[in-house]
Structure 1
């Protein structure tokens, strides 16, 4: 079988080649050709525009992650299957719990070096810090990531509110409450930690705007590990700038650098300059274990395609 890995994931071609073994041609492409049909059995990529999608002649498009909003599924030729892959929920959940604990502990207040000169002053003025135990954590989006975060938060004794589209009750061991997104405004005033981990679509774009941010307590922390656009960009900046929101940990951004284009800031507003923002460059899922899980999953799906077996994680079928 002929497999093309395109864009940011192209350097992982040797990994996939090793997993698939002989009889499979794995080609790394920095970008699709600018014109002409694109022939392959499988294409792996996380960004396929309308023109590129229309020129594809492949059986399977495999997104090397969970988000598929950058795949022009509607332009794919009939018969093309689109699958995605998870496996990122464990490191993202750990990243999120670190952000929550860091917000309460605020270890940056203490001297970098506890020597004889700093010790007396630091000991005499040491502040109290917050416990996560008993605090309310609202998780917007309760899929793979949200549930992994909830498991860890429940172990810390936090009060977990799962915010979903329907609000339909789920496993009691994962959350204390299941609330529909339409009732989010009722949850926010009692939320100390708001975590965004829902997909980005027309219904979630701008879901957290100026009104929602104003409903949060002033000491609240917002953590976004989903897509930046779920939270209104200007409203977030102004709430943090004016300290109406205590802090934010942002691992996803409104603008990303693109090869061959001028550098851009992560946001059109200077969020990264605010002292109450922890800005990270989309790293929450980046572990060696994640790549191993994902590429083993994609290799298995490619073998399933070759053998005529049902594919896993089908998210779209072009007709």
Structure 2
């Protein structure tokens, strides 16, 4: 059985070979071939263009993450199945809670070094920090990630509101309120922290724009661990620059470096230069434990394909 692992995940081919064992050929590719059929039983890739999809001759496209927006589903040949994988919710939830606690505890107000010369003055002028307890947290998107964030936020005594497509009530032990995304404008004025962890599609692209950012209370925090494009790029920059938005923790970006192309800034606007932005390079999910979980799942799914069993985490099947 032939498996191709393409792009950013190609260096993990040895891990996959070890998990699959004998009977599986795992080929690591920096990129898809420029022309001709792409033939394999399974392909592991984050991004597949329409042109590449049309050349695929495989049974399974296994996306090595949750987001599938970079796979041209409609161009896939009939019979091709697309699956994704989770397992990232725990580190992302921890990253998010860290961002929330950092926002309210404000460690940047403390002296960089507490030595004898600084001690007397810093002790006499100790700044007050705030508390996360009692603050309202709105979570847009309530899948695996949103639920793990809510679970931790409840432990810190926060009032949690889940914002979902349907507004169908979520588990009472996780949230205090569930509202549909159509009621987002009613929620934002109460949200001391707004966390975005929804998929990117036509309904969520630009969901948070200038009007939505204006509705947030003074000093509010925005955490984006979804996709950058859920937030209007220019509106976000202006709201932060003008301090209408208190702070943002951004782990997802509008532009990414591409191999063989000149370096780019992560945004058209210098978001990363603003003092009220916590800029991280898309690392919220990346832990050794995540890789173990994801590759164990993908190896098991490939084995299911080999054995003719039902695949897990089915996202799309081309007709």
Q: TM-score range with shorter-chain normalisation? A: over 0.9
The equivalent of 2:7 in structure 1 is 7
**In the TM superposition, what is the alpha-carbon distance from 1:166 to its structure 2 partner?**
0.8
For 2:171 and 2:272, how far apart are their aligned partners in 1? 38
In structure 2, what is the Cα distance between the partners aligned to 1:301 and 1:242? Answer: 49
The CA distance in 2 between the partners of 1:145 and 1:118, in whole Å, is 42
Cα distance in 1 for residues equivalent to 2:132 and 2:110 = 20
For structure 1, the 5+ residue unaligned runs are: none
In the aligned structure 2, how far is the partner of 1:100 from the partner of 1:206?
A: 23
Q: Distance in 2 between matches of 1:176 and 1:52?
A: 45
Match of 1:134 in 2: 134
Instruction: Say whether residues 1:144 and 2:127 are aligned partners.
Output: no
| In the alignment, structure 1 residue 178 sits paired with structure 2 residue 139 | no
Aligned match of 1:107: 107
Matches within 5 A, 1:136-285: 136-285=136-285
Write out per-residue CA displacement over residues 111-159 of structure 1, whole angstroms, 9 at most, x where no aligned residue. 1211111111111111111111110000000000000000000001100
CA distance in 2, matches of 1:235, 1:298: 38
Q: Deviations over 1:206-248 (max 9, x none)?
A: 0000000000011100000000000000000000000000100
- For 2:90, the equivalent position in structure 1 comes to 90
SS in 1 for 2:93: helix
SS at structure 1 position matched to 2:161: strand
**What's the CA shift string for 1:272-312, capped at 9, x where partnerless?**
11000010000000100000000000000000001111100
- Give RMSD over aligned pairs: 0.5
Shift of 1:170: 1.5
SS of alignment partner, residue 148 of structure 1: helix
TM-score (norm 2): 0.99
Instruction: Give the match for residue 44 of structure 1.
Output: 44
TM-score (norm 1): 0.99
Shift of 1:162: 0.1
Aligned to 1:26: 26
Specify the alignment match of 1:65 in structure 2: 65
Q: 1:68: Cα distance to partner?
A: 0.2
How far residue 8 of structure 1 moved from its aligned partner, in angstroms, is 0.3
Question: Structure 1 CA distance, aligned partners of 2:300 and 2:286?
Answer: 21
User: Structure 2 regions of 5+ residues with no counterpart?
Assistant: none
Distance 2:19 2:229 in 1: 36
Output the CA distance in 1 between the equivalents of 2:124 and 2:13.
56
- Partner secondary structure for residue 262 of structure 2: coil
Partner SS, residue 259 of structure 1: coil
Question: Following TM superposition, by how much is the alpha carbon of 1:110 offset from its aligned partner in structure 2, in angstroms?
Answer: 1.1
Runs ≥4 residues deviating over 6 A: none
Determine helix, strand or coil for the equivalent of 2:151.
Answer: helix
